[in-house]
Structure 1
Amino acid sequence: MSVDDGILEHMFESDFASADDKTVVAAIEECARAEAMLAARRLAATAELTARYTEPDEDRDHLAVDGWRMASAEISAAMRVGDRAASSQMCIAMALRERLPKVAALFAQGRLSAALVSTITWRTQLIVDSQIAQRIDTAIAQRAGEWGGLSVARLESAIDSLVDQHDPDARRRMREAAQNRDVRLGKRDDVTGTMSLWGRLSIADGELLKRRLAQLSSQVCKDDPRTAGQRRSEALGAIAANAEGLSCRCGSPDCPSAGQDDPRAAHFVINVITEANAPNTEPVPATPAESATAERAAGPVEPATEPQAAEPATERSKPRSAAALIIGGGLIPTPLLAELIKNGAKVQWVHKPPAAPETGYRPSGKTARFVRMRDMTCRFPGCTRPAEFCDLDHTTPSPAGATHPSNLKCLCRIHHLLKTFGGWGDQQHPDGTVLWTAPSGRTYFTHPGSRLFYPGWDTTTATLLVPTGPARHGDKGAMMPRRRRTRAQDRLRRIERERALNAIDRKRWAAPATTQPSRPPPQNDDPWKITTDANIDTTDTDPAPF
């Protein structure tokens, strides 16, 4: 179903212009209900597809590409989301189908929101007894309509209280804060050029980090223009770069830190995209403010995080400003990019490879760099795995397929296995566009990531001859990696472990409190009694005469 742009524009401009508030609010309510009904229908379809692919099969269930993986590939491509997000939707869908049919019925009527249903399925995930699941489903269905206005914390408490009544060991518990330690980086609303950081550490690790940050941020001279907070922030980056100190920004030649490179710079390679006709020589010098491609350091290294800085260098006399992108990260402001280059970051040119295919199976470093910069991420529909963590896949398998950018693309290991063993077909065009055909027969186009960020870069390479006749791959089933345990066995082990921990906690909490000391105090009312410690052996000791 598609909607004409003109209709959308008309809708947002005039549909509700003359309506009163009651009509507008009623439209909001009606659409919210319709959205819930559509979400329920989507999850019902997800559950049906998952059930079809996960029918018990002793041999297939032990393969790396099992039924769940096959279903998640179809769903992630259809929804244009990653594998993890697709698996999450599958878990919700199967919970509604198998454990919570009455909740699913309310959802299908639009009486529950997708967010509420997601919380319900998660908080009831540890239930394994079908009869208990039925009772909890009934109890939740009777009360769920009243939960729409609760906060997340109160909603979780309300669900937990019902679960606790019927199956105490299935309650999701927060036993100790230490078990929830985590550090996360980045949020969707982060300002360009910055990344948020939040988490929880043990008190020992937190104290170590606090002292190290204070030590590094205090090494600069008093004329450093940064605030204390900015120095602590950059000290954390210096720690990540294994630096012993923090460089000073005062700019004075007499500063003890003057002339020191930024320790972060050595961990970056700046890949500069150039057109095929651009000469492979040193770039024309320019000020960092004018161009981020002003300098190039010899001897590029493999980075832990590899940024992409680029626009085609078509004017050698006056380089233009370049946009910089950390693949899998975000945009780098031009001043920060120039600072990295100035302080020692490696710079290398990304040229379009020759038209002739290479002779070996593994592409050269030059070809690999071009393909990774062109694709930027895994090329499977919906996947956003950064290219540097992906395999380079021959679209037409070798030896029939050439080792050439027109026949190479980035695939993460999961989707590389799916392409090889999971029945997915792919056709690649010279500009890097890939046409995927799913086992279900659905087709999807994916385009190189550079097309979004650098639309002026021509990534079209030579057109290759398509080999005639079927390619011979041998017995794929024999080569596929196998699991020690099936996915269902792994899931059951996790649930049993969590339930066992809950049972231990419940027994400890249920133990009656006591105010009596663990050892009775000595009785001094009898002067003839000798008090001994239980750890002292007195069996062979004669009592001393009084």
Structure 2
Amino acid sequence: MFEEFTAAVAGARTPAGRVGAQARLENAACAARLASMYQMLERAYAASGSADREQWRCDTWSAVCAQIGAAQTITGGMANGQLMTAVILAEKLPMVGAVFDEGLITYLVVRTICTRTGLVKDPDAVRAVDAELAADLRSHGARSLNQLDADIDAVVLRHDPYAVRRTEDKARSRHAEVAYDHGAAYVTATVTEPEGRALDTRLDALAATVCDRDPRTRDQLRSAAVGAMGFGWNRVPCMCESPACDAATTPPVGGVVIHVIAPRDALDNAGGPAPEPPEPDDDVEPPPDDGFDCSDDLGFEDNDADSTAGSESDCSPTSSNYEPPTEDDRETPAEPESRPGPGVGDLAAQRRGLVGEAPPMLSKPLREYTFAELCAEQSADPGQFCPAGPGVVLGGGVLPAPLIAHLAMHARITALIHPGQAPPEPRYRPSRRLADFVRARDLTCRHPGCTRPATVCQIDHVIPWPYGATMASNLACLCVEHHLLKTFWPDWTYTLAPDGTVVWTDPDGQQTTTYPGSRLLFGELCAPTAEVVTTGTPPPKHTAGLTMPRRAITRKQARAKRIDDERRANTEWVEQYLRESIPPF
């Protein structure tokens, strides 16, 4: 079939014809990819001992999703969704799958159909829904997602009213969501009116805890009050920067910690506190050698509002053998038009510019400008560069240096030390200093495509202790799921280079490379560390005497229970619908 699609692309005579042929080729290729995922799952279930692993915390489904995610470098959630779609197409909707194989519909349409028909259980109803949808997809033209949802629900309603997806929307009528966007966060919530009035009053009360010299507007103070509630503070720290202000100190927190990594120059001359020297590490006795390397020590204190760390390593530009041309070699260029360029600004001034009223864009009303005057005034100020590099929230996004400096005014700052060529530590658990470095270097779980933040990951010995030493070149961050995958599942291995580069090998022998999350922003953290010190040769899989954490019920049983619960929740609505469907006499 692919030969037909590629021939159609090659034979297209117009750009529009090529677009149509390439779209069908893309859809057919996606269908083939999902079919390969289903084959991977079938092969895994057919393997010896598969039934015994169904209640493992990292079960057969999880292992296949990990392999799919590594092959495509996508997150585990995306791999799970694609595999679920592949299973539904193969086992419940083969006619819809045949339409997909022909490239007539997109993956978005297929995923929507699989989601909206997921509650249909009766085999006869499943076959009827599959046949009707397949016929409709072949004859129907383009439609919006809302129209597609309505059409699918209409088909499901005719064959199985209890299977209409409704309770999900009903459950979301009350919600609280936080969305992140380039250093800002947007909080939306639906609560009862008494709760809303209490929240409104609480924000005003917290905003009033600053002194009269605070430069922020009322809206900015209410926004800061939301953050204070998140940290568990009983007041908002004042930003007046006056030494006589009692409200400027950071209030005690309620156990909420946000870790931010930033370069030192984002803190210098920005008004923030000086970094504290590293604390001495307490010796920790190694646990019994059970072969399961599962460090759960986060390496951060739990009583800080913010932990902003800056590496002490210096990044100096490299030199080259470039020799400037002599006067005779130089050509005399034409005199360029003199235009002021953006200069390097003052970080403290840029930090202060984040609060208070926004300066006016124009010096007089817009109606009084000619077009030339307006262009001249807008281009008169070229702006200014930030003198410091950005930082990053562990588990979050990139923050510009002025915002880092703003946060640092009320944060505990700890210097982050690169271990360099330091010798190994004589214990199983890494010291706090070493754990901080590993998490700052990796930022996320090191399995391909996994984005779980390092703060919730375990620090894994790549070469198990005591065969591999506790040192930076032998430690990497792995989330619980991928730590269990590496420990218990055969043929999943990875290696770690001194610069933090990780190479994973899956059960099929395919290799995938991942790089430290800090490589782009904090390249100095990826400077090579000392080579790993090993003692003896570890066994292939040192799992003797270990027990995989188990699920209460299997994944299949949990999925069936969710379907039954949602169908049961539809009972009242279906009964009302059936009563209203009876024609009057």
Q: Into which bin does the TM-score normalised by the smaller protein fall?
A: 0.7 to 0.9
- d(CA) in 2 for partners of 1:93 and 1:284? 48
Deviations, residues 307-336 of structure 1 (Å, cap 9, x unaligned): 555583358xxx972421102211222122
Amino acid at match of 1:208: A
Q: Give, in angstroms, the shift of residue 232 of structure 1.
A: 2.5
Q: Give the one of 472, 475, 493 matched to 1:405.
A: 472
TM-score, normalised relative to structure 2:
0.73
CA 1:475–1:391 in 2, change beyond 3 Å: closer, same or farther?
closer
| 1:288 aligns with one of 237, 262, 270 | 270
- Residue 476 of structure 1 deviates from its aligned partner by 4.6
| Structure 2 Cα separation of the partners of residues 24 and 144 of structure 1 | 25
Give the match for residue 185 of structure 1.
178
Distance 1:443 1:286, change over 3 A: closer
Q: 1:92 to 1:483 in 2, by over 3 A?
A: same
Distance of aligned partners of 1:354 and 1:333 in 2 relative to their CA distance in 1, 3 Å threshold: same
Deviations 1:330-353 (A, max 9, x none): 122212211222224333332316
The answer to whether the aligner puts 1:242 opposite 2:309 as a matched pair is: no
Q: What amino acid is the match of 1:260?
A: T
- Note closer, same or farther for the CA distance 1:337–1:508 as it changes in structure 2 (3 Å cut): same
Q: Aligned partner of 1:161: which letter? A: A
Q: Which region of structure 1 is more displaced relative to structure 2, 395-404 or 30-39?
A: 30-39
CA distance in 2, matches of 1:359, 1:392: 16
- Listed one character per residue, the Cα deviations across residues 53-79 of structure 1 (whole Å, up to 9, x for unaligned) are 235943121222221011101001011
Q: What does 1:132-171 correspond to in 2, within 5 Å?
A: 132-145=125-138, 149-171=142-164
Question: Residue 288 of structure 1 contacts residue 294 of structure 1 at CA under 8 Å; is this kept in 2?
Answer: no
Secondary structure of the residue aligned to 2:512 is strand
- Match status 1:208 vs 2:198: yes
Normalising to structure 1: TM-score of the pair?
0.78
Q: Evaluate the alpha carbon distance shift between residue 70 and residue 305 of structure 1 in structure 2; reply closer, same or farther with a 3 A threshold.
A: farther
Q: Distance in 1 between matches of 2:50 and 2:526?
A: 47
RMSD of aligned residue pairs (Cα, Å): 3.4
Q: Does 1:217 align with 2:207?
A: yes
The counterpart of 2:406, out of the listed 333, 339, 342, is 339
2:512 aligned with 1:444 = yes
Q: Give the distance between the partners of 2:161 and 2:262, measured in 1 at CA.
A: 59
The answer as to whether partners of 1:96 and 1:104 remain within 8 angstroms in 2 is yes
Aligned mates of 1:172, 1:402 — CA distance in 2: 53
Q: Kindly, what percent of the aligned residue pairs are identical?
A: 35
- What residue is the counterpart of 1:32 in the other structure? 23
1:177 Cα deviation from its structure 2 partner: 3.9
The AA in structure 2 aligned to 1:259 is A
- SS of corresponding position for 1:479: coil
1:284 & 1:239 partners in 2: Cα distance?
Answer: 26
Following superposition, the deviation at residue 137 of structure 1 comes to: 0.5
Q: Secondary structure of the residue that 1:362 maps to in structure 2?
A: coil
Give the match's secondary structure for 2:77: helix
Give the corresponding residue for 1:301: 301
Residue 47 of structure 1: aligned partner: 38
Query: Do the aligned residues in 2 keep the contact of 1:352 with 1:459 (CA within 8 Å)?
Result: no
Secondary structure of 1:59's partner?
Answer: helix
Per-residue deviation, 1:369 = 1.1
Partner of 2:332: none
Matches within 5 A, 1:314-329: 321-329=388-396
Q: 1:295 to 1:477 in 2, by over 3 A?
A: closer
Equivalent-residue separation in structure 2 for 1:325 and 1:309 (angstroms):
11
The answer to whether residue 446 in structure 2 is matched with residue 379 in structure 1 is yes
Pair 1:343–1:172, CA change in 2 (3 A): same
Question: 1:454 offset after TM fit, Å?
Answer: 1.9
1:261 aligned to 2:250? Answer: yes
Identify unmatched segments of 5+ residues in structure 1: 1-21, 275-282, 514-546
Is the CA contact (8 Å cut-off) linking 2:463 and 2:538 kept in structure 1?
no
Please name the residue that 1:524 is paired with. Answer: none
How far 1:113 moved relative to its partner?
1.2
After superposition, the C-alpha distances for 1:347-386 in whole angstroms (9 at most, x for unaligned) are 3332316532111111111111111111111111111111
CA separation in 1, counterparts of 2:102 and 2:169?
A: 39
Aligned to 2:552: 484
Q: Which residue matches 1:105?
A: 98
Question: Is the Cα–Cα contact under 8 Å of residues 268 and 345 in structure 1 kept in the other structure?
Answer: no
Q: Which amino acid aligns with 2:204?
A: A
8 Å CA contact retained: 2:390, 2:398: yes
Give 1:312's aligned residue: 313
Q: 1:453 aligns with which of 487, 507, 521?
A: 521
2:267 and 2:239 map into 1 onto residues whose CA distance is 24
Give the Å deviation of 1:216: 2.5
Q: CA deviation at 1:486?
A: 0.9
Shift of 1:450: 1.3
| Distance change >3 Å, CA 207–CA 511, structure 1 → 2 | farther
Partner of 1:519: none
The DSSP-based 3-state class of the residue aligned with 1:453 is coil
Q: CA–CA distance in 1 between the matches of 2:518 and 2:141? A: 42
Where structure 2 has 5 or more consecutive residues not aligned to the other structure, the ranges are 1-12, 280-299, 317-346, 348-386
Distance 1:196 1:490, change over 3 A: same
**Structure label with greater radius of gyration:** 1
- The separation in 2 between residues aligned to 1:414 and 1:304, in whole angstroms, is 29
Q: Is the 8 A contact 2:441 2:526 kept in 1?
A: no
What's the CA shift for 1:510?
A: 4.2
